[in-house]
């Protein structure tokens, strides 16, 4: 079995670009449509592993799907060899010991092996989308004709947050989205306006800014490009827009109406925690993330809470530790819901405190700086 390959090492090689014909030698990759297989190829690696090394261990729970491209591996349970797989045979067409936790270890028996390593969640999403997307999405993908016009869809589907959304919802999202063309300088949304749509950037770039009493020109909060999203905060919280989004270049956007957004994306995306559950998460190493204004936070807040106002959440993402679990709080849960959506969309493990501070008797846990 061959594919376009770069240089190799005796341990583990650098990722190699893969041809679609190479991937179609494996099941169920052979059933994917070309566009979805191309999306998978961009996130799939072909690597080498030397003799005697373990590909995975018995009991492992890592969500990776492995295929053997060449060489021989031994499967071991309790240290005993219970089977072998040779690259290029019918057995090698299928994932190696796919059940988690792994019921066996896989050890390299030949001089070396070549194998594929695929994110299992991504593969599952693409397979589901491929099999449930029964309508034509050519109109949504219409773009600049350079072969990358569907990348915005791929980026959304690859987001770990979107893995939580039921496949039927994903299908409905793309069916109900509307495409609009925009020009450099256009204000897509204005600070203070009512929330009406959620947006995905198909092409072009835009800037997010917020006007303050001391800066009428607006403070730049973020710059967004293809595949990135905006506009969800006002839809979730029911508040007015807290920032202005202006196109830096000509481009195209997909938009989804408020009702469809809340039904199809917002509800399945968010995780909620009551106060007792939240306290347990904090005790286990999580952190309170308070998204109220600094003046509200200074009046009272949870001990050791971090304060990042909602309108600064996108700007401050890099200051947050992605390995931590966050319980997001505000006064009543509306702003924290919007912040949690943004965090979840970007891969953070975040929960909304149900009902916010107002719904809970927190006298024993809040620090009141007015007293």
Q: Tens of pLDDT along 298-324?
A: 888 898 899 999 878 888 888 999 999
**DSSP classification of residue 164:** G
Distance of alpha carbon 227 from alpha carbon 131, whole angstroms: 22
Instruction: Look at residue 86 and tell me whether its pLDDT is greater than 80.
Output: yes
Buried b (16+ CB within 10 A) or exposed e, 8-19: eeeeebeebebe
Residue 291 is predicted with a pLDDT of: 92
Rounded CA gap, 104 and 333, in Å? 45
C-alpha 309 chain-centroid distance: 22
Q: What does the pLDDT read at residue 131?
A: 56
Q: Is the pLDDT of residue 140 over 50?
A: no
CA distance 11 to 7: 12
**Cα distances (Å, whole numbers) of residue 273 to 261, 264, 286, 322, 328:** 22, 21, 13, 19, 10
Element (H or E) spanning 26, and its range?
none
C-alpha 118, offset from chain centre: 16
Report which of 245, 274, 272 is spatially closest to residue 337, judged by C-alpha positions. 272
The answer to whether residue 136 scores a pLDDT higher than 50 is no
Higher pLDDT, 344 or 145: 344
Record the tokens describing residue 23, joined without a space.
Answer: 């991937």
Q: Residue 31: what are its φ and ψ, rounded to 5°?
A: -95, -5
- Of the candidates 155, 305, 297, which has an alpha carbon nearest to the alpha carbon of residue 229? 155
Phi, psi of 280 (to 5 degrees): -65, -40
Task: Identify the sign of the CA torsion 212, 242, 193, 181.
Answer: positive
Distance in angstroms (rounded) separating the CA atoms of residues 36 and 147: 13
Structure tokens at 1: 């079995």
What number is the average pLDDT over the span 51-79?
A: 95
Distance between CA atoms of 203 and 185, rounded to whole angstroms?
15
How distant is the alpha carbon of residue 186 from its chain centre?
28
Q: Is 109 helix (H, G, I), strand (E, B) or coil?
A: coil
Is the pLDDT reported for residue 106 higher than 90?
yes
Outline where DSSP puts E strands in 95-214.
105-108, 112-119, 178-182, 187-189, 197-203, 206-212
User: Averaging pLDDT over each range in 59-73, 129-143, 163-177, which range is the top one?
Assistant: 59-73
Structure tokens at 276: 């007792």
pLDDT tens string 194-235: 999 999 999 999 999 988 777 777 788 889 998 888 998 888
pLDDT value of residue 362: 56
What pLDDT is recorded for position 314? 82
Does residue 137 surpass a pLDDT of 60?
no
- Give dist(CA 307, CA 339) in Å, integer: 12
Who's near 41: CB < 8 A, 6+ residues apart? 17, 18, 19, 20, 23
| 15: pLDDT strictly greater than 90 | no
Three-state secondary structure call for residue 363: coil
Identify the three-state secondary structure at position 77.
strand
Structure tokens belonging to residue 167? 């496949």
* Whether the Cβ atoms of residue 252 and residue 203 lie closer than 8 Å to each other: yes
pLDDT value of position 59: 94
């Amino acid at each position: 079995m061959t594919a376009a390959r770069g240089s190799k090492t005796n341990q583990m090689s650098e990722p190699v670009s893969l041809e679609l014909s190479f991937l179609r030698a494996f099941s169920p990759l052979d059933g994917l449509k070309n566009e979805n297989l191309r999306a998978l190829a961009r996130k799939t690696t072909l690597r080498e592993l030397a003799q005697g090394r373990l590909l995975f261990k018995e009991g492992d729970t890592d969500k990776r799907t492995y295929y053997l491209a060449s060489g021989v591996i031994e499967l071991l349970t309790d240290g005993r060899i219970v089977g072998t797989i040779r690259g290029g045979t019918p057995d090698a067409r299928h994932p190696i010991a796919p059940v988690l936790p792994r019921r066996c270890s896989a050890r390299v028996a030949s001089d070396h092996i070549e194998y594929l390593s695929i994110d299992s969640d991504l593969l599952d999403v693409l397979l589901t989308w491929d099999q449930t997307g029964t309508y034509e999405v050519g109109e949504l993908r219409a773009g600049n004709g350079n072969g990358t016009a569907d990348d915005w869809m791929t980026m959304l589907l690859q987001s770990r947050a979107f893995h939580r959304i039921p496949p039927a919802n994903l299908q409905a999202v793309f069916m109900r989205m509307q495409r609009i063309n925009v020009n450099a300088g256009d204000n897509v949304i204005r600070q203070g306006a009512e929330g009406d749509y959620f947006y995905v950037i198909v092409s072009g770039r835009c800037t997010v800014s917020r006007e303050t009493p001391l800066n009428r020109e607006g403070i730049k909060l973020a710059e967004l490009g293809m595949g990135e999203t905006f506009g969800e905060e006002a839809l979730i919280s029911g508040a007015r827009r807290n920032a202005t989004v202006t196109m830096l270049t000509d481009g195209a956007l997909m938009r989804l109406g408020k009702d469809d957004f809340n039904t199809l994306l917002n509800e399945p995306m968010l995780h909620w925690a009551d106060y007792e559950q939240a306290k347990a998460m904090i005790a286990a190493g999580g952190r309170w993330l308070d998204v109220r204004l600094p003046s509200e936070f200074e009046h009272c807040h949870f001990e050791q809470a971090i304060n990042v106002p909602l309108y600064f959440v996108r700007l401050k993402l890099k200051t947050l530790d992605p390995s931590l679990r966050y319980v997001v709080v505000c006064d009543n849960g509306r702003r924290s819901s919007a912040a949690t959506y943004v965090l979840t969309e970007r891969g953070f493990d975040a929960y909304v405190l149900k009902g916010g501070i107002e719904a809970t008797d927190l006298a024993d846990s809040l620090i009141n700086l007015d007293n």
